[in-house]
Amino acid sequence: MRKFNLLVSAALLGASVALPVLAEDKAPTGPFGGNIAASVGFVTDYKFRGISQTGNNPAAQGSLEYSIPVVEDAASLYVSAWGSNVNFFGAQSLEIDWTGGVRGTIKGVGYDLNVIYYTYPGGEDEVNYVEPGIKLSYDLGFATPYVGFRYSPDFQGAAAIANNLNSFSRTGDSQFYTAGVTVPLPFLADYNVALMAEYNRQNIDNNTLWGTPDYSTWTAGVSATVFTLNLGLQYIGTSLSKAECFAGTNVCDDRVVFSAGKTF
């Protein structure tokens, strides 16, 4: 389930892509000519694809990444680890995601091709799953539209967690489609302010075991950098009714989520 809130980080990433930066030569911060980056953050609710991973409660999150350029601007290899507290029906309390991939920009098209391994230490191993994916973007100057696709051949099953089942693979495969845009506000460039909007579709093979029908999720928000802190405010919603959300839970409810983080 993912990233310093997947939707939050999309806004922050979009802002960093869309806004101009001063060109400068930086010495590598890691071995073999690579770079090391880390982040720590806080969100009022860890929403993953519109569904709360923390029972509508806050989360503390952090990441560590190593990247190394292969072809200047066109390709960099990277590996990262990202973690957050979670609460899946009292069955899981920690998530650590491991990512490896390649990203860059070719003829103005930004790309990020990677594989994420989602793990939940201390819980059932069957909950862990792998998900390759790709994201493409294009900086138009006044806006950066992007699309993405992720696929899992063996998606985890929340209904299986709730019922303490051991065959999570019965949820089958899943497909997640993303389309969004970030829009920088030039008159607030000193604070890297950007607006963002995103629409997604989640399809799952075995909906009964997963716990919801196929559904759509969306977000709209704003991100900014203030006193070196990355701040975000997003409205996140889904097409799921309460009755369709894991047998009547409220983790699919529309919510406003605030985030604050710092990158090192």
Distance CA 153, CA 228 (A): 39
Domain that holds residue 92: 6-263
pLDDT digits (tens, 9 = 90+) for 110-159: 999 999 999 989 766 667 899 999 999 999 999 999 999 999 988 875 55
Number of domains within the chain: 1
Given its phi and psi angles, is residue 55 left (phi above 0), alpha (psi -120 to 50 degrees) or beta?
A: left
**Mean per-residue pLDDT over the chain, rounded:** 86
Nearest to 12 by CA among 194, 255, 258: 194
User: What is the reported pLDDT for 170?
Assistant: 63
Residue 1 within a domain: no
With tokens 């065959």, the residue in question is 167
Nearest to 218 by CA among 175, 257, 174, 171: 257
Residue 149 within a domain: yes
Residue 19 within a domain: yes
pLDDT digits (tens, 9 = 90+) for 52-88: 999 999 999 999 999 999 998 899 999 999 999 999 7
CATH number assigned to the domain comprising residue 63: 2.40.160.40
